[in-house]
Amino acid sequence: TTSNNHFWKKDKEHFIHPYTDYATFKDEGSQVISKADGNYIYDSNGHKMLDGIAGLWCANIGHGRKDMADAIHQQITKMQYYNPFGHTTNEPAAELASKLAEISPGNLNHVFYTCGGSTANDIALRLVHYYNNLRGKPNKKKIISRNYGYHGSTYFAANLTGIHGTKDCFDQIAQDLVSHISAADMYRRPAGAENLTEQEYCNFLAAELENRIQQLGADNVAAFIAEPIMGAGGVLVAPEGYHRRCWEICKKHDVLFIADEVVTAFGRLGEWVASKEIFDYQPDILIVAKGINSGYVPLGAAILSSDIYDVISKPQSDGGVLSLGFTYSGHATACAAALKNFEIIEEENILENVRNLGPVLQDGAKELLTNPIVGDVRGKGFMLGIDLVSNKDTKEPLNVASRVFTKCMERGLVIRPIVNLIVISPPLTLTENDVQALLQIVNESIEEVYQEVSA
């Protein structure tokens, strides 16, 4: 069907798609998605599908909203953009910075705007280095990240990323600056940790972080970066208490804790900010994007603590210019979209919807474990991973998520296939009926794939 579509020819000839397997892409092509409305999307043939991944963990308030269009239209006709390079600013950027400071826990009060999550991570690290230089600790440069963590596609963010393909198929220019430790993976654990209790495993992982800081020398380590729940790396939920322990270790060694909440912030786990409100630690830097305006206009931000801001904002003897920023930092239209997005989240009790229906989604998905190829079901709120295995004892990955994806699409649901993992991260506006429909389609599709592979 895609080959009949005249867009497909243009697409194939001229569009370099991100994260695309060219071994299959050139023959099979992509499905053209032409329309999106609420929790549903439509392909160019009019086939309606429930959006089980909110575009890409971002369309949190649903698609195609007129109230968002109106807010964006109003801002564009008033003043679509003007640069905020100090001498000038704009109302939505200032208003949003104040709102983000209100939503963010503790002393996370200062916002640096970017174009998305990768650029927010890159900027955060430049600012961390700048901060350490200014406070007389110029050797504190190394960043500890985690295997399977996903932090983006710009050069430094890709170096932070610990996912095999992203990490290894391109050059690693920041190799000396980044050091990876184990993922907090409850299902497939590192050697030596297989039989530990959850508490012991938490201690095991925390000890690895502390050992790494000591090996590198605390005087050389600037920051630790982690997602509250690892997203693209496998929807990995850490053992209870893990983030808090890591945070305490960071504090002890004067290492900044960067919470990459590009996926988890603004409601996906039922709270505005997951790090403090769910996992009980206070990041020094909060990285946000995606759900900040539900993907209506590109936007990201690094939100810094007052302690960091006080140092980097001090006028310096050499001029004190904060020499970094993007044309689109504090883009008026993107910020206006974020303000409207937050208003909608509040007015429609969207966080409460996730708190109510998150358990329905998670508990319903647990029932899939009766299927012989479902090895693990994990997640929280509206973030769910279903791990397919060929053998439940060895946990050998069964790389058929793409087949499940195709079958779900035929039945009217989009999921995200990552090798052996099915990722589900729907709009936060799903109804209970949507959740039940989603679970039924996933169940039937996995069952059909199971029948095929065991035939």
- Of the candidate spans 31-39, 185-193, 260-268, 378-386, the one that interacts with ligand PLP by CB under 6 A turns out to be 260-268
Does residue number 232 form part of the binding site for ligand PLP (CB under 6 A)? yes
Least distance CB 334 / ligand PLP (angstroms):
12
Least distance CB 278 / ligand PLP (angstroms):
16
Question: Regarding beta strands 383-391 and 374-380, do their DSSP bridges make them parallel or antiparallel, or are they unpaired?
Answer: antiparallel
Least distance CB 152 / ligand PLP (angstroms):
4
Distance between the two ends of the chain, CA-based, in angstroms?
28
- Of the candidate spans 104-112, 150-158, 171-179, 343-351, the one that interacts with ligand PLP by CB under 6 A turns out to be 150-158
With respect to ligand PLP, which residue has the nearer C-beta, 260 or 434?
A: 260
- Of the candidate spans 9-17, 92-100, 258-266, 343-351, the one that interacts with ligand PLP by CB under 6 A turns out to be 258-266
Q: Which helix (H) or strand (E) holds 33?
A: strand 33-37
Question: What mask of x and - would describe binding to ligand PLP in positions 287 to 316, judged by CB under 6 A?
Answer: --x----------x----------------
Q: String of b and e for 179-207 (b: at least 16 CB within 10 Å)? A: bbbbbbbbebbeeebeeeeeeebbbbbbe
Least distance CB 289 / ligand PLP (angstroms):
4
Cβ within 8 Å of residue 144, ≥6 positions away: 178, 179, 180, 181, 209, 212, 213, 216, 221, 223, 224, 225, 255
Least distance CB 137 / ligand PLP (angstroms):
26
Q: At how many degrees (to 10) do helices 432-454 and 401-411 cross?
A: 130
SS3 assignment, position 71: helix
- Give the neighbor-by-neighbor strand order of the sheet with 256-260: 108-114, 300-305, 285-288, 256-260, 221-226, 142-146, 178-181
> Which one of residues 62, 92, 162, 231 is an interface residue with ligand PLP (CB under 6 A)?
231
> Which one of residues 127, 263, 344, 354 is an interface residue with ligand PLP (CB under 6 A)?
263
> Which one of residues 65, 129, 146, 151 is an interface residue with ligand PLP (CB under 6 A)?
151
Place of tokens 């020499």: 323
With respect to ligand PLP, which residue has the nearer C-beta, 113 or 450?
A: 113
What is the DSSP code (8-state) at residue 370?
Answer: G
Least distance CB 256 / ligand PLP (angstroms):
17
Does residue number 234 form part of the binding site for ligand PLP (CB under 6 A)? no
Across the strands, what pairs with 12?
A: none
What is the DSSP code (8-state) at residue 315?
Answer: P
What is the DSSP code (8-state) at residue 316?
Answer: P
Does residue number 413 form part of the binding site for ligand PLP (CB under 6 A)? no
> Which one of residues 260, 271, 376, 434 is an interface residue with ligand PLP (CB under 6 A)?
260
Question: What mask of x and - would describe binding to ligand PLP in positions 94 to 123, judged by CB under 6 A?
Answer: ----------------------xxx-----
Separation CA 298–CA 300 (nearest Å) = 7
- Of the candidate spans 145-153, 245-253, 323-331, 345-353, the one that interacts with ligand PLP by CB under 6 A turns out to be 145-153
Nearest Cα neighbor of 388 from 452, 433, 333 is 452
Token pair of 286 as six digits: 């909060």
With respect to ligand PLP, which residue has the nearer C-beta, 293 or 445?
A: 293
Separation CA 429–CA 403 (nearest Å) = 27
Residue with CB nearest ligand PLP? Answer: 117
With respect to ligand PLP, which residue has the nearer C-beta, 150 or 266?
A: 150
Cα distances (Å, whole numbers) of residue 96 to 85, 100, 273, 282, 339: 17, 6, 16, 21, 6
Token pair of 372 as six digits: 């012989």
Question: What mask of x and - would describe binding to ligand PLP in positions 210 to 229, judged by CB under 6 A?
Answer: -----------------x--
Q: What residues between 13 and 42 interact with ligand PLP by CB under 6 A? A: none
Place of tokens 């971002």: 58
Site for ligand PLP (CB under 6 A): how many residues? 14
> Which one of residues 38, 62, 92, 152 is an interface residue with ligand PLP (CB under 6 A)?
152
Least distance CB 194 / ligand PLP (angstroms):
27
With respect to ligand PLP, which residue has the nearer C-beta, 246 or 389?
A: 246
Do you know the residue count of the chain?
455
Rg of the Cα atoms in the chain = 22
With respect to ligand PLP, which residue has the nearer C-beta, 331 or 407?
A: 331
Separation CA 70–CA 73 (nearest Å) = 5
Answer whether 397's CB lies under 8 Å from 388's CB. yes
Cβ within 8 Å of residue 132, ≥6 positions away: 138, 140, 141, 222
With respect to ligand PLP, which residue has the nearer C-beta, 117 or 234?
A: 117
Residues of this chain that interact with ligand PLP (CB under 6 A) are 116-118, 150-152, 227, 231-232, 260, 262-263, 289, 300
